[in-house]
Amino acid sequence: MTSIRVAIVGLGKIARDQHIPAIAGTEGIELAAIASRNASIEGIAHFATLDQLLADARDIDAVALCTPPQVRQTQAAAALRAGKHVLLEKPPGATVSELGPLVAAARQTGRTLFATWHSRFAPAVEPARSFLAGRQIKSVVVEWKEDVRVWHPGQAWIWEPGGLGVFDPGINALSILTRILPRPFFLIRAELCFPRNRAAPIAADLAFSDDTGMAIRAEFDWRRTGPQTWDIRVESDAGRLTLSSGGSRLVHDDRTLVDEKQAEYRGIYRRFVELIASGVSDVDLSPLVHVADAFMLGRRREVEPFIED
């Protein structure tokens, strides 16, 4: 099979750190172009804008949109109209409703639309899903706490409406929960902490439940210094299951079930190749729906201004 020729749109930190190495390590796909106003890669065709790429690079099969979520709907729509398959970094967009027209456009053009949730490809996620299938879940506690200065240096878009603030990492936890828990759950309470100088939250305290009344508590915080925390603890009728390190480690009570190096983005690109070969799309919006609910239901509390060092 001929390799899929993909172009990355938006050559920022996530594209350099994750997408480019993952494409290089995935059979059936190759990096053929970059669209970025301010950056390029030696030896790779470069275009200043997506519109220029779509007009001049007719041999491109797909685009991976690594731009801020506020602009992705317009970009994805243009790429689908041009007959390209589209991969969306997480979150797939700034709103839930903007994804519906893209799903319809992908169907009409016969192209693949893939809304990625990279944390679902962490090595412990599927084993956790299998372990919890059919179990009685008693409670869930999520701690997702990291230093925004380390992971998002100088990225002003995350603090603007649609950038999601602390939900940019927090949605990773929600993407895991919506994958591993055997029943759907819904938000019942939210408190969002907004710095006085920012338009998006820096912390969130959330409570969820399901139709059995099971309690889920999630704390997201961008003010953590020192060791970072990405943990999910599930109490079940079979004991405690703990996913740590963002889903790379799984422990049942005191027994380690999984402890592997992360390779999430290779999983994403393998899935993208499979979807294109099968002629189907994959767009699950459940993590983004929970974030939208938090903004709708959440009580807003102002905290000290956030200033990057």
Q: Does residue 90 carry a catalytic annotation?
A: yes
Length of the chain: 309
SS3 194: strand
Per the residue annotation, which of 13, 90, 138, 261 is the catalytic one?
A: 90
Q: How large is the angle between the packed helices 167-180 and 286-297, nearest 10 degrees?
A: 120
CA distances from 258 to 94, 244, 252, 262 (A): 34, 10, 10, 11
CA distances from 289 to 38, 143, 148, 170, 239 (A): 33, 20, 23, 13, 30
Q: How many CB atoms lie within 10 A of CB 5?
A: 17
Contact 175, 230 (CB under 8 A): no
Please list the active-site residues: 90
